[in-house]
A and B are shown apart, each in its own frame.
Chain A
Amino acid sequence: MLSVVRLAPAEGRDFAALAHGSAQREPYGKAAPRTWSERHTWHGPKGLGGVAGCFGSLRRGRARDKHHLASALVQAGSDHTADRADAEHDEAHGSGEPVNSWRANIAAVVCAAVRNGSPRMRLATLLGDVHFWIPLGVFAAGVALLRWLP
């Protein structure tokens, strides 16, 4: 049986679907991107400005998302509606609607790869791990020994 969760009006959007489990939603009620192309679509300005903005977001980290989430978190109990938070967000960071810009989309993919890959690779951590230098040093010594042998 479908159960409907009663929520404060300020939070009200289609929460019945959320309770039903048919949609995965962010705290502020916007459907989370589910497909690869949704995740890698640039939501900022078009054209070269979009490319620059995308790389700018890489430098700033996920400030855009943090801002959006923060807007949603302060809305409960105030007259701040989710729609208003969205509008404020769009004014500051561009429209929430996807734009058809292949350059910006490619840049978004590159940014996502760098953003996700870099911390996960944890290269700095690896290089700071003494366990890594033992086999690497032994490998170098082995290669040197091999070159020394006639």
Chain B
Amino acid sequence: MASVDAARLRRLQALGVLSGVTAGAWLGAAEAPTKLVTLGIPPVAISFVMVLGVFLARWSLPALLRGTAGVRADLARAPHLVIWALLAGGLWAVANTLTVHAIRDVGLAIAFPLWNANGLLGIVWGALLFGELRNAGARRWLGVCGGAALLFAGAVVLGQASVADAPPAAALRGVAAALGAGLLWGTMYIPYRKAYLTGMHPLSFLAFFTVGELATMGALAWSELGGPLGVWRTLAAAEGVLFWLLLGGFVWVIGDLFQQYAAKYVGIGRGIPLSNTNQLWGLLWGVFVFGELAHAEDAVMARVVGGSVLMAAGALAIALSSAPVREHQHWQAAAAREASRYGLDPAWVQARLAGDDPDAGAAHRRSALDWTLVAGASLVFLAAASVAQAPALAIRLDAALTLALASLMLLVWCAQALWRTTRFG
């Protein structure tokens, strides 16, 4: 395979870092709508409705960026990647359900940092399986591993500050669930990386990923809530808050989309820790919008500031350790191996790896099916909004607007950069 020129590579790396940071902001913001739900809804039902929101959101506005024609083109090129995407969606759903158990048993303070260790696992898988950090030099190894360690330490400190008095109920079970969630999420990035080394478009991957998520989450909800009637009754009883949960899914899918671009352009070793800064954003929403920690002691506030600084320093260290050309050659070797294994056109894989879209003509056609899907998904959101109840929780609107504006600005900046450099490829 011909190597990507150094200037193009630098642009793609910067794009990946920006995507990772944007992903962190939007994945953190996704927690905000779910905080508005204070009714006694089973956690599995909350997770199921959020995943439904994720699925519908994929087929709303993003369907206009890459519709069914583009997805079909990807499917024709590399149909085996569908299985990878479905598997990744299944991993996400099981991990998310495990976190519910972990929070219940050991509290958020212990559980969050444990499952956030998925960033460290991502570095291991990236280096072992996909040639990431190979020939990168000691400085970049130190930057990525040290940065991930700082992010982990920051997560521990922030977690302790967030829920300092949560009593561990069933420590062993809770720790096992949290570690399990971290293992599943860390391993979920193997399919991500696999897909992008084989030329799949992020939006095509996301389309099948959401199907895998919905199917697995549907099965879990089915078994826990007592079949389809049980699921229906639970959702009907909670119709007033369905919109907020769907909205959480909508915001989450935007974050995940940018996470896909981060995994594509900076790899999973760097992309995952960067998007794990979502904990920091979640805390910002909690503190400034929902008034959490309002009466906290100085020691707790010091932990919040210290943890935030650690996380920001970790993210900065990773952002400054972008892959040099000699490391990127190993990525290309991994891509060539995948192309050879699955009988794909190496030129097509190479073009996709460099952010070009050889199927751009076909991908940008909008069919009646696309418009129908967009209309259908939007109608579901509108229907849920029409019966939504105003949240009972007191929120600070000015802070909410400021954070929403900051997230939107990041989105516009990153989307603009993606469009200019890769046409969302």
Contact = CB atoms under 8 A, between A and B. Distances in A.
Interface of A: 117, 119-123, 125-126, 129, 131-132, 134-136, 138-139, 141-143, 145-146, 149-150
Given A126-B83, A126-B342, 12 more contacts: A119-B343, A120-B76, A122-B80, A122-B342, A122-B343, A126-B80, A129-B341, A132-B83, A134-B129, A135-B91, A142-B183, A149-B101
20 contacts: A120-B79, A120-B343, A125-B341, A125-B342, A129-B341, A131-B190, A132-B84, A134-B125, A134-B187, A135-B88, A135-B188, A135-B190, A136-B87, A139-B90, A141-B183, A142-B91, A142-B98, A145-B177, A145-B180, A146-B98
Nearest to B125: A134
A146 B216 CA distance: 13
Interface of B: 76, 79-80, 83-84, 87-88, 90-91, 94-95, 97-98, 101, 125, 129, 173, 176-177, 180, 183-184, 187-188, 190-191, 194, 220, 341-343
A138 B342 contact: no
Given A145-B98, A146-B97, A138 B176 contact: no
Given A117-B79, A125-B342, A135-B88, A142 B191 contact: no
A138 B180 CA distance: 9
A119 B341 CA distance: 12
A136 B188 CA distance: 10
A121 B88 CA distance: 18
A14 B370 CA distance: 41
B62 to A, nearest CB: 24
Contacts of B79: 117, 120-122
A-B pairs with lowest CB-CB distance, top 6: A142-B94, A138-B187, A145-B180, A142-B184, A149-B101, A126-B80
B80 A121 contact: yes
Contact of A138 (B83, B91, B177, B194): B91
Chain A facing B: main interface SS: helix
A145 B97 contact: no
A139 B91 contact: yes
B180 A141 contact: yes
Contacts of B98: 142, 145-146, 149
Residue picked from A131, A132, A138, A143, most chain B C-beta under 10 Å: A138
A15 B136 CA distance: 56
Nearest to B343: A122
B87 A135 contact: yes
Find the residue from B80, B95, B125, B191 having the highest chain A CB count within 10 A: B80
Residue of A122, A129, A142, A146 ringed by the most chain B CB atoms within 10 A:
A142
A150 B95 CA distance: 16
**Interface SS of B by simple majority:** helix
A138 B80 contact: no
Contacts of A122: 79-80, 342-343
A79 to B, nearest CB: 40
A145 B88 CA distance: 18
Contacts of A135: 87-88, 91, 187-188, 190-191
A125 B344 CA distance: 12
Contacts of A132: 83-84
A122 B95 CA distance: 28
B184 A138 contact: yes
Given A125-B342, A145-B177, A134 B190 contact: yes
A139 B97 CA distance: 13
B277 to A, nearest CB: 24
Nearest to A143: B94
A131 B90 contact: no
A37 B83 CA distance: 30
A119 B342 CA distance: 9
Nearest to A142: B94
B129 A131 contact: yes
A53 to B, nearest CB: 27
> Which of A126, A135, A150 neighbours the largest number of chain B CB atoms within 10 Å of its CB?
A135
B87 A139 contact: yes
B43 to A, nearest CB: 12
Contact of B94 (A120, A125, A146): A146
Nearest to B181: A142
A123 B87 CA distance: 15
A125 B187 contact: no
B362 to A, nearest CB: 15
A150 B101 CA distance: 9
Contacts of A121: 79-80
A125 to B, nearest CB: 6
A74 B83 CA distance: 44
A136 B342 CA distance: 19
Nearest to B194: A131
A99 B82 CA distance: 37
Nearest to B170: A150
A123 B79 CA distance: 10
Contacts of B94: 139, 142-143, 146
A131 B191 CA distance: 9
Contact of A142 (B76, B180, B190): B180
B246 to A, nearest CB: 24
Nearest to B189: A135
B80 A149 contact: no
